[in-house]
Amino acid sequence: MTLFSLLADPAQQVYRFACLPWKYFPKIKTLCMEPIRIAIIEDDPMVRNNLRDFFEKHTRMKVCGAFASIEAFLADENQKKENLKIILLDIGLPGMSALEGLEYIIGQYPHSDVVMLTSNENPEVIFSSIQKGAVAYLSKKSSLESIATALETVCRGESFMSPYIARIVFNFIQSKPGRTEAPPDLTPRQFEIVQALAEGLSYKMIADRLDITIETVRDHIKTIYRRLQVNSRAEAVRKYFNKKK
């Protein structure tokens, strides 16, 4: 039996399709079975404990460590053995600030995604965190469920911003002179897509906004990566804003 044969008569094959062994879906199996391994860096003990308790009850999440400072996180050698997928980072920390510590965190954990979770809504701080390597920016006003959804989005290779934060970013972009025209190495359409990435929009949201298909969005993003000489959404947004300074 092949996957193509199931398409011949889908009405009769639904049950057989659902019962296919996992060997037909190795990537899906990995996605569904492996937990999202998280480290939390948050100095407020109530917020830190609430996050840890919620994620520990979530079927897709595994909290590998919770820390009150970046120094405490970096000093814990056990975290390097945990294969962390996401490092959830507050900005207003004692000692080393998040913006100062991002370079050190990404240097020691290059394969982990850093997600900012903070009450700081200063657009300059948001852009600084993006430029330094953060792939998502979440407001502490967000519900625990929406935070979990955002982390799952990041694990699919996308960026994310809380809607409230995205509006702040969008308004900031519009207010800045010299940011309304595409740079020479991007077409106007590609420029629109980079702006959408900066707002934290998913591929589907970008496709809906620009009235194009998701595959067209993917093709544009591949071209953007090539022209900007980057390998990720966060790098593309960071390089774009660095060029516009």
Pair 27, 39 in one domain: no
Walking along the chain (245 residues) 10 residues at a time, the average pLDDT comes out as 39 40 42 79 94 90 94 91 92 88 89 88 78 83 89 83 71 58 72 80 84 88 82 70 56
Per-residue model confidence (pLDDT) at position 188: 86
Per-residue model confidence (pLDDT) at position 243: 57
**Angle, nearest 10°, between helix axes 214-228 and 203-210?**
110
Write out pLDDT tens, residues 77-94.
888 888 899 999 998 888
**Residue 170, domain member (yes or no):** no
Q: What's the whole-model pTM score? A: 0.62
Pair 133, 210 in one domain: no
Query: For residue 189, what are the domain limits?
Result: 176-244
Instruction: List alpha helices for the chain, DSSP H.
Output: 3-6, 10-18, 26-33, 45-57, 70-75, 98-108, 123-131, 144-155, 163-175, 188-198, 203-210, 214-228, 233-244
Here the CATH number for the domain that contains residue 68 is 3.40.50.2300
Which of 162, 197, 218 is the last residue before a domain boundary? 162
Pair 131, 186 in one domain: no
**Residue 47, domain member (yes or no):** yes
231 neighbors 222 (Cβ within 8 angstroms): no
**Residue 191, domain member (yes or no):** yes
Per-residue model confidence (pLDDT) at position 55: 93
Write out pLDDT tens, residues 149-167.
889 888 887 777 777 677 7
- Best CA proximity match to 161, nearest among 179, 141, 187: 141
Pair 40, 141 in one domain: yes
Pair 61, 158 in one domain: yes
Pair 47, 145 in one domain: yes
Pair 132, 207 in one domain: no
Per-residue model confidence (pLDDT) at position 16: 41
Per-residue model confidence (pLDDT) at position 15: 39
